[in-house]
Amino acid sequence: MKIQTPVYYGDYLQLPKILSAQAPESTKYGKTAHDETLFIIIHQAYELWFKQILHELNSVREIMQQPFVPSTDLSVIIARIERVTTIQQLLIDQIQVMETMTSLDFMEFRDYLVPASGFQSIQFKLIEAILGIKSQHRMEVEKQFFNSRLKAEDKKLLEAEEAKISIFELLEAWLERMPFSQFEDFDFWGEYSQAVDKMLKQDREIISNNPVLDDRTRTMELKNLDMTQNTFNTLLDSSLYTAWQGEGKVRLSQKAMLSAVFIYLYRDYPALQMPFRILNALVEVDEKFTTWRYRHAIMVQRILGTKIGTGGSSGHEYLRSTTERNRAFIDFFNLATFLIPKSMIPTLPQNIKDQLDIVYDSFRS
């Protein structure tokens, strides 16, 4: 390839445009507030990283929209999701830079920003939508802010994104297509149910025979064990599981959930290692955004106290309330509920092991 035109560093990165994009509002009112430049640059950096996250997630969605996802594409998905989590760590770490600004420093220019708010970051809302957090999954207070704080063009952009299939929905369909948890000649879930019963029976005996526990504590722990039994029963009973979904306790379909449990139980087999890494990476995406929201909420409390946000929200209280709520892959966080000790995991028949393993010895009997 012959290079036609020499490229200059500053021109390639459009540095004149980027470095002249900081225009403090306080300057319009007299004296420029020193820390407003920091405030602007931090949020501009956030938006640039949001753009890169969207770039990665859109590519993941495009790959997962294929009717069949080749194993070679799974490694691409993993690499791009892991890049997202690395960027997220930068977002978290950047809060430390913001925290070098004191409450008094912020108050020098805060009132000039009304009603602008980080809540109006359309790119972050697009990230949430592509992951699978849509309007119906939000708190009522968030929906109200959506309608009143976004520009019309941003609102249309978000509505268009929410109309598209999300990574959560594609992941659910991908898990539903997996054949690993249903076998013609092997009742895996029957074996699993027996293993669960054995595990819970052992737990019940330990609680019942523990001389340290008083009657009240023993009764409470046995009641908790009954609840655990009901949870396992719900996983395996389609009608109970459907009721669970109706109550909003789980989003993932039963078929997809069963595949995910199977992947987690047998993740050491080569055929399941990449699917497990994908699920685990998406859990980390949720975890890091939750951490970022929490750190952001604490920072806001530290700088603003209980004052309302510039966008009219309740500030710290609003941010804190969304920290736990807005997680696309909470069902995968909860998969640990359905795991059992390795020693109790059902032994798979040899023909199924061979499907999940890499078999080099063609003469093995």
Q: How confident is the model at residue 365 (pLDDT cuts 50, 70, 90)?
A: very low
Contact 130, 171 (CB under 8 A): no
Residue 139, Cβ neighbours under 10 Å: how many?
13
Query: Which residue type sits at 200?
Result: L
CA-closest candidate to residue 285, choices 24, 126, 20, 87:
87
CA angle 129, 282, 259 (to 5 degrees): 105
What is the SS3 assignment for 214? coil
Query: Which residue type sits at 145?
Result: F
Q: How confident is the model at residue 119 (pLDDT cuts 50, 70, 90)?
A: confident
CA-closest candidate to residue 171, choices 266, 280, 300, 89:
280
Tokens representing residue 182 in the block: 């249903």
Residue 318 is predicted with a pLDDT of 59
Return left, alpha or beta for 330; rule: phi > 0 is left, psi -120 to 50 is alpha, else beta.
Answer: alpha
Contact 300, 316 (CB under 8 A): yes
- DSSP E strand boundaries for the chain: none
* Cα–Cα distance measured from residue 60 to residue 214, given in angstroms and rounded to the nearest whole number: 53
CA angle 256, 259, 260 (to 5 degrees): 85
Query: Which residue type sits at 273?
Result: Q
The H or E element spanning position 54 is helix 36-64
- Comparing 364 with 320, the larger pLDDT belongs to 320
DSSP 5: S
* Residue 281 clears pLDDT 80, i.e. is over it: yes
The maximal CA–CA distance of the chain, rounded, in angstroms, is: 86
Q: How confident is the model at residue 307 (pLDDT cuts 50, 70, 90)?
A: low
Q: What is the pTM of this model?
A: 0.89
For the ranges 87-96, 120-129, 248-257, 350-359, the lowest mean pLDDT is seen at 350-359
Mean pLDDT of the chain: 89
CA distances 90 to 52, 83, 85, Å, are 12, 11, 9
* Residue 134 clears pLDDT 80, i.e. is over it: yes
Cα distance between the two ends of the chain: 55
Tokens representing residue 277 in the block: 């890494």
Contact 199, 340 (CB under 8 A): yes
Return left, alpha or beta for 341; rule: phi > 0 is left, psi -120 to 50 is alpha, else beta.
Answer: beta
CA distances 295 to 110, 239, 249, 281, Å, are 20, 40, 26, 21
* Residue 138 clears pLDDT 80, i.e. is over it: no
CA atoms within 13 A on the CB side of 314: 8
- Comparing 359 with 46, the larger pLDDT belongs to 46
Q: In sequence order, which residues have a C-beta less than 8 Å from that of residue 299 and are 6 or more positions away?
A: 95, 98, 99
Q: Calculate the CA dihedral of residues 41, 324, 176, 190 and round it to 10 degrees.
A: 150
CA-closest candidate to residue 225, choices 244, 210, 240:
210
CA-closest candidate to residue 325, choices 55, 48, 136:
136
